[in-house]
Structures are given as structure tokens and as C-alpha cells.
Structure 1
């Protein structure tokens, strides 16, 4: 089965924490990762026509590429949780809420993520053991 790719804001502390969480919960390596600001991330997004004119900084969502389809906002997070399996699959219950509500909460957190969690000057560098999981 091909890996699903999680695109994330590489300078956001919340996003980097989310990536570290997924890595810890995904020992089989189902998910791979690409920072939205990286050359590989930008190239793959452009292939699918998803790069905004001003660059990746305008993308304020975790994106998931799974089975050739992109998912964003709360849908991406819920699909990632289900993909982790185990107790995390129970997060799928959140899908029972109307998408407009889920995405409104997601956008509220995304708008405030730098203020609440901070940001880094540059994208995180994966350890040598994890490098193969990053594009």
C-alpha cells in the first residue's frame, strides 16, 4: 500500500508537534511528511494545482494526500486519526459533527496557532532515522 502524505506548516510548533505525534503512533510508517514550505512539498502541491499564487504560507491547513485525493482541515485530521488505528480511530466519531462546525473550529485554531504555540525560523530537520519518511 503506498504511503499517505501529510503536508504541514514546517515553521509552526503546533504542526511540528502533530507530526511528531503521528510518527510516534505510526510505527509501520504508513504516513510520510512534507513541509508546505519545502521544495518537494511545493512541487507535489503544484502537480495537483494546489499551490496558491503567493506560496505555501497561505495554506493554513494540514493536508492529506491519500489514494490520489487531497483532504484538508478537519477532514484531513480525522482521516489521519483513523489511519493511525487503535484508540485514535475513535476520533472518526468527530465526523458525525457537521463539517462546517468542524472546519470552523479548525480554522480558529489555525488562525491562532502561532500566537498560542509559537513558530520556528525554519522547517524542522528530521533525524537520520526518520529522514526516509520526509519528502
Structure 2
């Protein structure tokens, strides 16, 4: 059985047996020098999105048929209009992605951006469900009992095959 580590983890440091230790596992941003994008305070830059309207923003792949269907579903079950929507491919979507610590070109996941926090993958889906009408908040509470790594494993498999299974549209519905 092999242990699979993320590619950004450092390799084992070989030293005398008494001092064998692993190097700390850090994401690339922690080990690389800051870039132009790292110097921008994206929370401050995008704070205008929440000045007059504090509702969370759901970021979705605007050309994905599954994602567009998800937006239609959320709209139909959000009678209080508690969620706003923005395509990941839009300029606003790219800025909000960077606010969430993701690449502006990363369209691999639905993201829910609140004023003070962002959620990705299965956590975003469950958080969106909490904003919907009954019975979805209760279902989200139940699904939180499933470990995150299992939820994200299922999410990633669907997300990686979404164009093959559900197809693409030529333009965003919103």
C-alpha cells in the first residue's frame, strides 16, 4: 500500500537515523516568493460586492449544463432570494475567485462567497442548501455527517466528468 501525498509536499529529508524527520508540507504559495496577485488585498478589492447587498454570491461555471441546472434549482427553491449568482468566467467572478484564494481561471468548482468567508466543492453545496427552503437545510445537516474527504471525492468525480455527462452550452444563462 502506498501513501499518496499532494505534489506540493516536500520529499523526505534523509539524515542520520536519529534525526529522520519530514519537512513541513506547505502549499506552493507558502514557499514561493510573492507575486503581483499575492500583493493585492482581494477582500478589500471586492468589498464593494457586499456594501449594499450582504447576500452570499454563488459562483458557477457559466457554460456547464449541470451548473446552469443547479442555478435553476437553487432559484426555484430560494423563495426569499437569499443567494446571488455570478459566472466564474465573468470579471466579477474572477475577482471573487481570487478573494477565495483560488486562481482566476479555476472553473473546477462551485464557490459560495460570503462577506467574511468562502466555501468550495461539497462544503459550498451544503452551505447553499442551508440557504434554501425546507427540507434542504435539514438534508445539508444530515449530509455533514459524511466525512469531507468522501463528499469531496464524489464531488470531484462528478465535476471532472460534468461536460461529458451533461454537456456544455454556448453561453451563460445569467
Same fold (TM over 0.5): yes
Q: Do structure 1's residue 50 and structure 2's residue 101 form an aligned pair?
A: yes
- Pick 1 or 2: higher relative contact order, CA cutoff 8 A, min separation 6: 1
Once the two structures are TM-superposed, the CA of residue 115 in structure 1 deviates from its matched residue by: 0.5
Q: Which has the higher strand share?
A: 1
Q: Normalising to structure 1: TM-score of the pair? A: 0.82
Aligned to 2:56: 4
SS of equivalent to 1:96: coil
CA distance in 2, matches of 1:31, 1:14: 18
Once the two structures are TM-superposed, the CA of residue 121 in structure 1 deviates from its matched residue by: 2.0
**Kept after mapping to 1: 8 A contact 2:96/2:113:** no
SS of equivalent to 1:68: coil
- Unmatched runs of 5 consecutive residues or more in structure 1: 127-135
Of the two, which has the highest radius of gyration? 2
Aligned to 2:131: 83
Q: Do structure 1's residue 122 and structure 2's residue 171 form an aligned pair?
A: yes
SS of equivalent to 2:171: coil
Q: Normalising to structure 2: TM-score of the pair? A: 0.65
CA distance in 2, matches of 1:70, 1:62: 11
Once the two structures are TM-superposed, the CA of residue 83 in structure 1 deviates from its matched residue by: 1.1
**Kept after mapping to 1: 8 A contact 2:100/2:113:** no
- Cα–Cα, structure 1 residues 20 and 49, in superposed 2: closer, same or farther, change >3 Å? closer
Runs of 4+ in 1 over 3 A off after TM superposition: none
The number of residues matched between the two structures is 121
Choose the corresponding residue for 1:22, options 74, 96, 105: 74
Q: Which has the higher helix share?
A: 1
5 Å matches for 1:82-101? 82-92=130-140, 93-101=142-150
| RMSD value, Cα | 1.6
